[in-house]
Amino acid sequence: MTAGFTKRSARHDPDFYAVEAAGLRWLAAAGPDAARMAHVVAVDEHSITLERLEPTRPDRRAAENFGRALAVTHAAGAAAFGQPPEGWAGDGYIGQQRMSMRPEEAWGRFYAEQRMMPYARKARDLEHLSSAASGQVERVAERLAAGEFDDERPVARIHGDLWSGNVLFTEVGVVLIDPAAHGGHGLTDLAMLHLFGAPHLEAITREYAEAADLPDGWVDLIGLHQLHPLLVHAVSHGPSYGAEAGRVAERYA
């Protein structure tokens, strides 16, 4: 490890980097066999400094190791769905947008009320989500809140924003940055990797599925778990993501 890498922001939210740091530390506390997180060197209201990491060409073996390690991170668990990182109280962020973190016993209700509908309403108000697409999303949310997609899997300790830009292949293996960490469903992390792609995704997925002992049919639920990031992007990146959210929601409505 060499000199740290510092990120700064013009944002005036004093908790923006503090919750990121709390998330990294909480995920790192999953244990030595869990996915590696970038070490937090320093944090204040305006910046966060992380260890500087040396990138390398993505390697299949590193990807396989990461798939197994991610399952270990998820298995470390959380007290409830929506549970914030240990030592943190209040909401967090996904990208630049606020993200609710209120503990909830049932995954479906949590996902509908805290991960789907707040962003669906914002996207609709911005005219980034059509009335037809909004109707599909609302029908899925109703099924979720009714518990139709709940399963027996325990609450997972998830990264929460696991797109490929936050998955760094380095000389020490895969290291993760920029979490939106909370208690959630493990498929949510896997679904975001599948939404935006990642190097050696097949290897990551195969090793994760085996280590996490995913049940038959789990692949059919990936789209359901992609609705959150699609709706977040509909707010920040425009109506093309809103249209895709509507098409995906139609499969589960």
pLDDT digits 0-9 by tens, 38-95: 999 999 988 999 999 999 999 999 999 999 999 999 999 999 999 999 999 999 999 9
pLDDT of 116 over the 80 cut: yes
pLDDT at residue 1 in the model: 42
- Annotate 44-90 with three-state secondary structure: CCCEEEEEECCECCCCHHHHHHHHHHHHHHHHCCCCCECCCCCCCCC
pLDDT at residue 128 in the model: 98
In the chain, % of residues over pLDDT 90:
93
Angle between helix 222-237 and helix 131-145 axes, rounded to 10 deg: 140
Cα 50 to Cα 8, 37, 70, 86: the distances in Å are: 12, 10, 20, 19
| Residue pLDDT, tens place only, 5-24 | 888 876 668 899 999 999 99
Helix/strand/coil for 150: coil
pTM, two decimal places? 0.95
| Residue pLDDT, tens place only, 220-248 | 999 999 999 999 999 999 999 999 999 99
